[in-house]
Structure 1
Amino acid sequence: MNIVIEDVTFTYPSGTHALRGVTLRLDAGEAVAIVGENGAGKTTLVKHLNGLLKPTTGRVLIGDWDTREHTVARMAARVGYVFQNPDDQIVERSVGEEVAFGPRHLGRTPAEQAADATAALEMVELVEHTKTHPYDLTAAQRKLVTLASVLAMRTPVVIFDEPTMGQDARGVALIGRIVDGLKAEGRTVITITHDIDFCAAHFGRVVAMADGQVLADGPAADVFTRADLLATTNVEPPQLVRLAQALALPRAPLTVEGFVETLKGSGGAGEQGSK
């Protein structure tokens, strides 16, 4: 289902203006990364997508639902949200119960709950910890538990807030495969991330934010080559983009394969730039 954000502003009770006229449209099945420095308004924005926050002005539509007209519990059937800190999300005493929590509150049968939980734990490679207390796991594993708890709900929209934080290379690769799997299923995937290389590898569209506003919105390859704009958001381009620019290549691919092809086809450009 499509997501429409129309001229949304949001002011916290403290008086902080966190969003300043944000307008975006995310079509069903898109993979979108939201980047920017801390305090840019990224988390505030995505909390509007499942109703945790309501716009001060403007509106947010998830399909045909206006988030102002539905509870967070009801919005959870459409939008799954993996928090940045797993300890803010975990409520049950075993991994299996935690992952089944969402399906249970969506009204699924016990058999469906068990099947959904098992499938999600298999995706994050934690099925052997079904009976383990979540706080007997590492912080990185707890992050995967909360990811599984959202996957088990099978929502059409999935939001990841800093999914790779605290993960080693194996964990990052695992999360990347999960993101690619969700994209293949046609689900909308949104991430907030400071891991720009992960973003470049798995997300085709990038929204760059600063001071509660959208500074850039477009294909990742376009946004990540705008060094002047990224500097205002304290975001560095991906490593491959920086290398391509240093070699004066005609374009800046976001994948190793694309980089190699560009290097081969650049003739003397890459060789000259490397000198």
Structure 2
Amino acid sequence: MGRLEIQDLHFSYTAGEEILKGIDLVLEGRSTAIIGQNGAGKTTFVKLLKGLLKPTGGRILYDGTDLQGLTVAQIARSIGMVFQNPNDQIFKNKVLDEVMFGPMQIGMSKKQAEAKAQEALEMVHLSSIQKVNPYDLGLSERKLISIAAILAMDPDVMIFDEPTIAQDYAGKCCIGSIVRHLQAQGKLVLTIIHDMDFVAEYFDRAIVFAKGRVLLDDTPEKVFAQHDILEQAYLEQPNVTQLCHALGYEKTFLTTDAFVAHLQK
């Protein structure tokens, strides 16, 4: 369920300037964060996975089917994407209508769509504001509404574009619990993100993009241990990792809990 195979993927917006330069990846099972500086090709890559762009070379297979032969609407049944800016996604006048819209577009009945919407709003802790106009809410809540809108469609692949933008600690914990819940359901969870602490806490695999190529691909612990290579990609380690290295620890600690557990031993 939810297997993406990327074969020699190339993409150019203009002739002679490649954004992606031969990406080969298999994405399945593990929650995966795609990280890299602005311009590394991350957003272009996930737009190709969603069918919003078409490759200039190579193939993307979803459970063995070439996405090139599918429409965006067909892909939406299996691959959902939460955009970085919720204002690019939200357009209804009521929160509940917004979250129900996607499920109804992929063939759910109104009753099914409402049930899925209620479930999704419960997951983002916004059930109490379902009759409110989304644009009367703050950016952090609109981001959570945009996440709920895709959750309600129940795709097998869930892509988050910068999910922690505008979120406080509670919001990040909520989104992190959603990542873990989706993975426990057997869904493929992908994110493109600049929040290294969130990657360290909630993701099982980290892929570093640099100049349209894959520079590193491993567990977060192994990726974040490679300080010199991360610097080449203009990336920083998680805050706890940086602190522990500054204190002279050779072992790579990704979270405060991991470091405290080490000290307690």
TM normalised by structure 2 equals 0.96
CA distance in 2, matches of 1:213, 1:40: 8
**Correspondence for 2:253:** 253
Deviates more, 1:198-207 or 1:179-188: 179-188
Summarize the alignment of residues 83-102 of structure 1 with structure 2, pairs less than 5 Å apart.
83-102=83-102
**Correspondence for 2:26:** 25
Contact 1:10/1:55 (CA < 8 Å) preserved in 2?
Answer: yes
Alpha-carbon deviations, 1:135-158, whole Å to 9, x = none?
A: 111111111110000000111100
CA distance in 2, matches of 1:261, 1:127: 36
**Correspondence for 1:8:** 9
Alpha-carbon deviations, 1:132-190, whole Å to 9, x = none?
A: 11111111111111000000011110000000011111111111111111111111100
CA distance in 2, matches of 1:37, 1:172: 21
Contact 2:241/2:255 (CA < 8 Å) preserved in 1?
Answer: no
**Correspondence for 1:159:** 159
CA distance in 2, matches of 1:217, 1:15: 27
RMSD of the alignment, in Å? 1.3
**Correspondence for 2:212:** 212
CA distance in 1, matches of 2:262, 2:243: 12
Report how far residue 14 of structure 1 moved: 6.8
| Letter aligned with residue 143 of structure 2 | K
CA distance in 2, matches of 1:181, 1:232: 34
| Letter aligned with residue 11 of structure 1 | S
Contact 1:79/1:156 (CA < 8 Å) preserved in 2?
Answer: yes
**Correspondence for 2:109:** 109
Instruction: Name which one, 1 or 2, has greater alpha-carbon Rg.
Output: 1
* Equivalent residue pairs, number: 264
**Correspondence for 1:74:** 74
**Correspondence for 1:43:** 43
Any stretches of 5+ residues in structure 2 without a counterpart? none
Alpha-carbon deviations, 1:176-233, whole Å to 9, x = none?
A: 1111111111111001111000110000100001111110001110000111111112
Does the C-alpha gap of structure 1 residues 124 and 14 become closer, same or farther in structure 2, counting only changes over 3 Å? Answer: farther
CA distance in 2, matches of 1:236, 1:158: 25
Any stretches of 5+ residues in structure 1 without a counterpart? 266-275
Alpha-carbon deviations, 1:43-78, whole Å to 9, x = none?
A: 100111111111100000111221100001110011
Contact 1:249/1:262 (CA < 8 Å) preserved in 2?
Answer: no
| Letter aligned with residue 7 of structure 1 | D
Runs of 4+ in 1 over 6 A off after TM superposition: none
Contact 1:51/1:72 (CA < 8 Å) preserved in 2?
Answer: yes
Report how far residue 254 of structure 1 moved: 1.8
CA distance in 1, matches of 2:264, 2:132: 51
Deviates more, 1:240-249 or 1:176-185: 240-249
Secondary structure in 2 matching 1:253: coil
| Letter aligned with residue 242 of structure 1 | Q
**Correspondence for 2:132:** 132
**Correspondence for 2:57:** 57
Deviates more, 1:245-254 or 1:225-234: 245-254
Secondary structure in 2 matching 1:12: strand
TM normalised by structure 1 equals 0.92
